[in-house]
Amino acid sequence: MNALVVYFSRTGTTRKVAETIASSLGADIEAIHESKDRRGLRGYLRSAFDGTLGRWVPTDAVDRDPTRYDLVIVGTPVWGWSLSAPVRSFLSNHARRLHKVAFFVTEGGGGARRVFEQMAQVVAADPVATLALAQRDVERGTVSSAIESFLAALPKKATAP
Ligand SMILES: Cc1cc2nc3c(=O)[nH]c(=O)nc-3n(C[C@H](O)[C@H](O)[C@H](O)COP(=O)(O)O)c2cc1C
């Protein structure tokens, strides 16, 4: 199945997971970029507001066309028990046009379930698989078996159109 991994990461945790998933699957990978400065305390607060208030923010178009992939695996950090604003924008820009979707989140301690619901709502599709990882476990390198279970739950073949 041809798969694309798309993610946003402010501090590198979600990127690490995205890279592991993409290299395990031999999938293409795209980071979502935006012009907002999210560094430091101001960046943190800006991100918390954008996440909690469910804001759409302008993002650069990704290089590859996600609608051409059988499966798009989307990763986001949790921001204020919510979906991060750049990933919200990506999903909303492609709502109803993606084939199959799978979601993963990295989090400090809570909110993943709510974020999966938000992601499904924004993209108007239920995920074929989900994965929630704590940031500390990603840093400790103790997430391999959770990632393997997630990969095992992904569909192996494209269904005929
Ligand atoms: C603005 C902001 C709000 C956050 N809110 C939550 C939260 O509600 N629940 C949680 O578990 N983690 C929260 N976190 C922690 C991040 O989800 C976590 O550190 C994540 O792994 C960061 O991913 P990244 O390094 O890819 O940016 C928040 C982080 C930021 C920057």
Ligand 1 centre distance from Cα of residue 67 (Å): 28
Ligand 1 centre distance from Cα of residue 106 (Å): 7
CB atoms within 10 A of CB 4: 23
Ligand 1 centre distance from Cα of residue 134 (Å): 9
Residue extents of the structural domains in the chain: 3-152
Please report, for residues 96, 102, 121, the alpha-carbon distance to residue 126 in angstroms, rounded to integers and kept in the order given: 11, 8, 8
Question: What CATH number should be reported for the domain whose range is 3-152?
Answer: 3.40.50.360
And the tokens for 34?
């935006």
Quote the radius of gyration of the chain (alpha carbons, Å).
15
Per-residue b/e over 68-83, b at no fewer than 16 CB within 10 Å?
ebbbbbbbbbbbeebb
Tell me the whole-structure pTM to 2 decimals: 0.96
pLDDT in tens for each of the 161 residues of the chain?
Answer: 899 999 999 999 999 999 999 999 999 999 999 999 999 999 999 999 999 999 999 999 999 999 999 999 999 999 999 999 999 999 999 999 999 999 999 999 999 999 999 999 999 999 999 999 999 999 999 999 999 999 999 998 644 44
Q: Which protein residues are within 6 Å of ligand 1, measured from CB?
A: 9-15, 44, 47-48, 51, 77-81, 106-111, 135
